[in-house]
Amino acid sequence: SLRQVSQRTISTASRRQLENRVPEKQKLFQEDNGLPVYLKGGIMDGLLYKVTMGITVLGTGYVIYELLMASMPKKQK
């Protein structure tokens, strides 16, 4: 009975046809509009890029701070 259910779901899932949007995406990404490819996807790409850059800058600053703190000897009382 499990085999029949799994075969049925696989066969019915393959019947549904999805719209092929690859040519639309190819046209979008090949368009020469001066944008780098990682920003051509729209607003979400720009937002993701800015968040990633922010995390990178903050992380780099924190690492430099920690290296400076680790390189200075602590005063003994």
Mean pLDDT in residue range 55-68:
97
**pLDDT tens string 13-37:** 555 678 999 999 999 999 999 999 9
Confidence (pLDDT) at 49: 96
Tell me the C-alpha distance between 40 and 33, whole Å. Answer: 9
Distance between CA atoms of residues 52 and 39, nearest Å: 13
**Side chain identity at 31, as an amino acid letter?**
E
Q: How far apart are CA 72 and CA 65, in angstroms?
A: 11
Q: What is the pLDDT of residue 74?
A: 84
Work out the average pLDDT over 59-74. 94
Tokens at residue 32, please?
A: 């020469």
Among 46, 47, 40, 44, smallest CA distance to 24 is for 40
pTM: 0.63
The pLDDT mean for the chain works out to: 86
